Structure 1
Amino acid sequence: MTEPLLEREPNTRSALHCKKEICLVIISAAVGAIASLLISNNTLNLKPVMFEKINILNDQISRPSVPENNIAAKEIAISYLGFNGRRTFSKFICSGDENDISAWKDRLCVFSSICYNKITNRFDYFRLNQSKPKPVFYDKSNRMLFRFGVTNADIPFLTLTVGGNTPWTPFVVNESYPTENFTRLHQLHSLTKTRFASYNIGHGLWEDLGSISYSLDRMNIIDRNLVIMHMNRMDDTSLFRMYHKYIIRALTDHSMVQFETYMNSFSTKYVCFDRLIVGGELSVFPRTQVREYHGREILYYNWRSKIIQNNGFNPNFVPKKHHIIISNKTESIYKRVGMKRHRAIANLEEVASFVQDTYPNISSEVIEWQYISFDKQIEMLLNTTILITPGGGVSLTLPLLPHGAHAIIMDYYVTEPDHGYLYGQSGSMEGAFFNHIPHVRKQYYQIYGPQEYEFDYPGATDARETASIIINTKRLRLLIDKALEEMEF
């Protein structure tokens, strides 16, 4: 269990109060003693937990120093209304459409001083109780909104899940922050609910968990004390064990926690967060949903580099000799009984022999990735100059390739128009994602007709989902030669 930076408030609280800011500047021993007495009489003073930051880089890389906890700039804090720190209310900042409440699937927000009410099972947003309350949102159709979302139109404020499957809306209460029966958590927390991670590593890596990294980058936050709260149950599966061992540590020094269990570990009515980041779940694969704009590239690249670096490797490593890897896809969660394979390379043995015979001076190997630990996969990919792979999840480690590497990715023949493609076209399954991975050069092995694929079982009709590719080695050579030319110095 993650040990949080927190302070617990008792159910009753004395009127005596000592502000932390004042205590820090006291230099007189006598005044300091008095201040210490006041604190001990009125609060339960828990020492902050000190977390060790571990540097596991294999290579010494010169980088500018970055503070462990950083928000772009210190915010304005001027006393004008006479609160003098005695009254606390919730605040929030967002990235995304702040003039259209219905754009909730793409909105990302950071809340300050917001509390989870364990009695009502809701997140309470504390607003100053006034005869004329202030608006929280400005919608182009509904005008000023005084609560999050539009209840009668069933429009929430944010989503915890890629694609909007888990809407989330804080509840506005016209009262100040709790003064009793609450626990205050000081470090940054993230609230999320994975959609694909339990069964699909590609979606889990680049959408579910990747969205946490993208959100931190978008809001200019660096915090190794981040606590990731997972809204749904974390099953003890091989994928989740892999995430905990190799991926979560790229985001934080702490384990991901299950939200309900975490909340129940606190005995108070309220569990309050100094900073809570919610939303920003980014769909990276659906071609019709991905908005082609500048900015995705650095988000993906930063996440790729965090993963590599936090597994002990140099994200800037470049190999000095050629190596070709051919992906052998033998397992799939979608593989049905009686299927020979699922979206694989149908003539794999022929392709492997062709590569070895045609390029005898270049090392090559055929890899079944599911039998290799993730950190070893990273190492192998960083030493690869040409990756030959079917489309689908097996191709989604492509961003881990080194700068200037080439990936030859199998397209599919469109037999059922969908995903922005028409019948007879050569479709790129992950093209909407790979379009924004510029450090790897993509060579798409296009499919021109039924003679270039083989259905995985009798009666199948959808060449995208249930067909494997028959590679023409002459055309493959054209793409490999192009890759070798472009890597020549």
Structure 2
Amino acid sequence: MIPKWKLVMYGSVAFLLIAFIQFVYLSNRHMSSHIRKTQKRDDLRIIDQTNQNSTSDRYSKFRCVGDDNDEGGALSRICLFFNICYNKLDKQWTFYQKTLERPVLYEKSKGILTQFEPGFVSLTYMDKHYWHPKVKIGPVPVEASRLTNLHSLFRHWPSQYGLNMGHFVWEDLGGVYNGMRAIGIEPEEMRASTIMDLEYDQNKNDKIFQKFHQLSCAITDIALQSFHDYVGGNFGIFQRANEINNAGKEVSFKEFRDGIVKCQGLDPGFIPKKHLIVITNKKRSNFGRSIKNLDEMTQYIKNTYPLIPVEVVEWDLLPFREQILKAQQATVLITPAGGVSMILPFMSEGTHAIIMDFHVTQQQFGFNVGDSGSMESAFWGHLGWFKKNYYQVKSKEDYVFDTQDATDARWFASVVVKMDRIKSLIDFALEDMSA
């Protein structure tokens, strides 16, 4: 846990702001070790590891990649802060420097800025939380308690509908992993830390903490810590507008997926030897968004493919490890969209998912009215180890609203599956896997 000193000094803090708004803490000791291994004898030693009171430890520093010229460019700015302090009493981050007039940002309209203005970096895209430190002249106080481990602090995006495992695993926790990889840090060196929203009640905090503890072994073997003093953030990956955030992270997604599978005691490289068709049952969902004629479709599939086992699964009734195992065993997974985004990435190499679209009745999320909208395809498109097939929903005959007063089919409609169309997708999947 954080020491009880009122002032905590971090070796360094990186704020990752493109696809993964997280806190990262990297000690000078870690960096100096790397520098010493690569420098020649006559090189100047930049960081003196042997002297804790050296100049490099007494003052704060920072550097950024991204937008250096626009005060409003927080969402495209990644910054690494060294020797920055957090005062636990006034909940203020402080940046210590020798003189006041030091460039912070070369603003295109205002000129050189010498203070970290509010909104310097973004902490939570969904909730529009921003962060900036306060500049103070003078060295880091000698009584500051020093943390030299590599840290990543994270906050789950609060949802009025409770803990959404898809967002939790692939955006919140996955953002920590992608953040580490993006700045060239081995994730296993990290001390994972989760920050709870003080507006949450304690029962919700405990549930999120326990789930994070269960999954954090995919990133690090170091024991998890819980902080209640400060709020961090995350960044969306599922909506079409966020797809640019996923580009280039395909390898990281696979590494993170494999890490979760491995830490649950399962084989990340498991390939099923026999076909299994798994169908998602979402009839108990608060949203609806299910397969309306689930029983009819299930019986049709059993009759059409009598040699292939067919299982109907309510994912939320299975323990997490069993969910992963069932997803790995499925060769064809048929599911409506929404609420299943957590489980699909655990499908095995070469298998097929058949995902229901929704009929677009309101222009939103990059879709036009009348489109067949693929709810989470911005994320699925960057997972290359299994094949995604979409059951398109193009007319009013393809869905029914879940409530009488509903008007938005994205949120409150269930798909009416046509047997000939689902058969064509299953046939394609089976043929593709046999090639």
Q: TM-score range by the shorter chain?
A: 0.7 to 0.9
Count of residues in Structure 1 that have an aligned counterpart in Structure 2: 397
Q: Conserved in 2, the CA contact under 8 Å of 1:406 and 1:441?
A: yes
Task: Go from structure 1 to structure 2 and tell me whether the alpha carbon gap of 1:81 and 1:217 turns closer, same or farther (over 3 Å shift).
Answer: closer
CA distances 1:220-273 after superposition (whole Å, capped 9, x unpaired):
11244414140514643485265235312223322241232xx9xxxxxxxxxx
Which moved further from structure 2: 161-170 or 392-401? 161-170
Residue 215 to residue 387, structure 1, CA distance change in 2 (3 Å):
same
Q: TM-score, normalised by structure 1?
A: 0.74
Q: Does 1:100 align with 2:66?
A: no
Query: Which of these residues, 237, 241, 251, is aligned with residue 284 of structure 1?
Result: 237
C-alpha contact 1:416 1:462 (8 A) present in aligned 2: yes
2:166 aligned with 1:220: no
Give runs of aligned pairs for residues 107-118 of structure 1, distance below 5 A: 107-118=77-88
Instruction: Check the 8 A contact 1:109/1:278 in 2, yes or no.
Output: no
The CA distance in 2 between the partners of 1:380 and 1:82, in whole Å, is 52
Q: 1:306 and 1:94 mapped to 2: Cα distance?
A: 29
Partner of 1:397: 343
Highest Rg: 1 or 2?
Answer: 1
CA spacing shift, 1:144–1:432, aligned 2, 3 Å: same
Residue 437 (structure 1) shift: 1.2
Task: State yes or no: 1:296 paired with 2:256.
Answer: no
2-side partners of 1:165 and 1:292: how far apart?
17
CA deviation map 1:7-34 (0-9, x unaligned):
9899xxxxxxxxxxxxxxxxxxxxxxxx
Match of 1:173 among 133, 136, 148: 136
**Distance in 2 between residues matched to 1:200 and 1:408, nearest whole Å:** 21
Q: Is the 8 A contact 1:317 1:402 kept in 2?
A: yes
Indicate conservation of the 8 Å contact 2:327/2:346, yes or no: yes
Q: Which residue of 1 aligns with 2:21?
A: none
- Aligned counterparts, 1:7-18, within 5 A: none
Q: What is the CA–CA distance in structure 2 between the aligned matches of 1:70 and 1:346, rounded to whole Å?
A: 56
Distance 2:163 2:33 in 1: 39
Calculate the aligned-residue CA RMSD, in Å: 3.1
Aligned counterpart for 1:128 among listed residues 94, 98, 120? 98
Closer, same or farther in 2 for the Cα pair 1:79/1:142, shift >3 Å?
farther
1:294-325 Cα deviation digits (max 9, x unpaired): 41322322221221121112222211111111
Amino acid across the alignment from 2:132: T
Indicate how the Cα distance of structure 1 residues 300 and 70 shifts in structure 2: closer, same or farther if over 3 A, else same.
farther
The CA deviation string for residues 187-231 of structure 1, in whole angstroms up to 9 with x for no partner, is: 122233321475311112221222111111111112444141405
**Closer, same or farther: CA 218–81 of 1 in aligned 2, 3 Å:** closer
Moved more, 82-91 or 169-178: 82-91
Q: Does 1:236 align with 2:203?
A: yes
**1:309 aligns to what SS in structure 2?**
helix
Q: Does 1:203 align with 2:172?
A: no
The alignment partner of 2:384 has SS state of coil
**Which of 277, 290, 299 is equivalent to 1:324?**
277
Whether 1:74 aligns to 2:34 is yes
Which of the residues 312, 323, 329 maps onto 1:366?
312
**Structure-2 residue corresponding to 1:384:** 330
Give the conservation status (yes or no) of the 8 Å contact 2:195–2:232.
Answer: no
Whole-Å separation in 2 of the counterparts to 1:450 and 1:72? 63
For structure 1, the residue ranges without an aligned partner over 5 or more in a row are 11-68, 150-154, 264-276, 336-341
Conserved? CA contact 2:361–2:410, under 8 Å: yes
CA drift of 1:106 comes to 4.1
In the alignment, the residues of structure 2 paired with residue 72 and residue 465 of structure 1 have an alpha-carbon distance, to the nearest angstrom, of 52
